[in-house]
Amino acid sequence: MSLQPGRPLRWLAQFLLKFFGWQVEGTVPTAPKWIAIGAYHTSNWDFAVMLLATFSRQLPIYWIGKHSLFRFPFKTLMRWLGGIPIRRDKTYNAVQQVVDEIERHEKLVLVVAPEGTRKATDHWKTGFYYIALNAKIPIGMSYINYKRKVLGFGPLLHPTGDIEADFAVLREFYERMSAGRFPAQEGTVQIKAPKAE
């Protein structure tokens, strides 16, 4: 269950984007299921702009949240808003929980912020990559550019299993296309370096 933006919500989103001077560019992927990256994530405003952009294109959006957010009395509301609850305990496989949820849907756009924080970070989290790989769905290179006041839909990346090579593609794209509200807080598009022995 997810909020399905109808025409009134689409029109409202288009009006608000125009009112605040934002534009949406690029072609929305036609794949029935895909992961939409929201990067660079440096401000709370990112979510609002991304939400308006997806509503303006009537996309069935979903997001991941801790299972504790889905307790009574908010469970129904959170699910209606597209929330996917996951348990992060060591006894649960978070990636597989999301993959199982994806398989239950015919259409789904899972929005993720791979930096996992609005603060500067030297790597992206890789959960979104393994979700896409295991669910056999593509990753949409969506981006936000505050310099140009644009939210865009870029090409799809089909994970190959070679995470280093695939992240090199992501890095080249985001360094060229995206610009966070606070540039000093943009996360580096690379996987976390292994700990020294």
**Using one digit for the tens of pLDDT, what is the confidence trace for 150-171?**
999 999 999 999 999 999 999 9
pLDDT at 7: 80
Tell whether 188 is covered by a domain: no
Q: What DSSP state is assigned to residue 118?
A: S
Tell whether 193 is covered by a domain: no
Between CA 53 and CA 154 the distance in angstroms is 13
Tell whether 184 is covered by a domain: no
Amino acid at 11: W
pLDDT at 83: 81
Strands of the sheet containing 61-66, edge to edge, are 23-26, 150-157, 139-145, 33-37, 108-112, 61-66, 83-86
What's the start-to-end Cα distance of the chain, in Å?
45
Distance of CA 47 to the CA centre of its chain: 10
Q: Is 139 helix (H, G, I), strand (E, B) or coil?
A: strand
Tell whether 138 is covered by a domain: yes
- Report whether pLDDT(2) > 80: no
Of the candidates 132, 96, 93, which has an alpha carbon nearest to the alpha carbon of residue 114? 132
Tell whether 58 is covered by a domain: yes
Tell whether 197 is covered by a domain: no
Tell whether 1 is covered by a domain: no
Tell whether 111 is covered by a domain: yes
Return mean pLDDT, the chain: 88
Span 101-114, pLDDT tens digits: 999 999 999 999 88
* Residue span of the structural domain in which 98 resides: 7-179
- pTM for this predicted structure: 0.85
List the structure tokens of 5: 């933006």
* Confidence label for 58 from pLDDT (cuts 50, 70 and 90): confident
| Domain count within the chain | 1
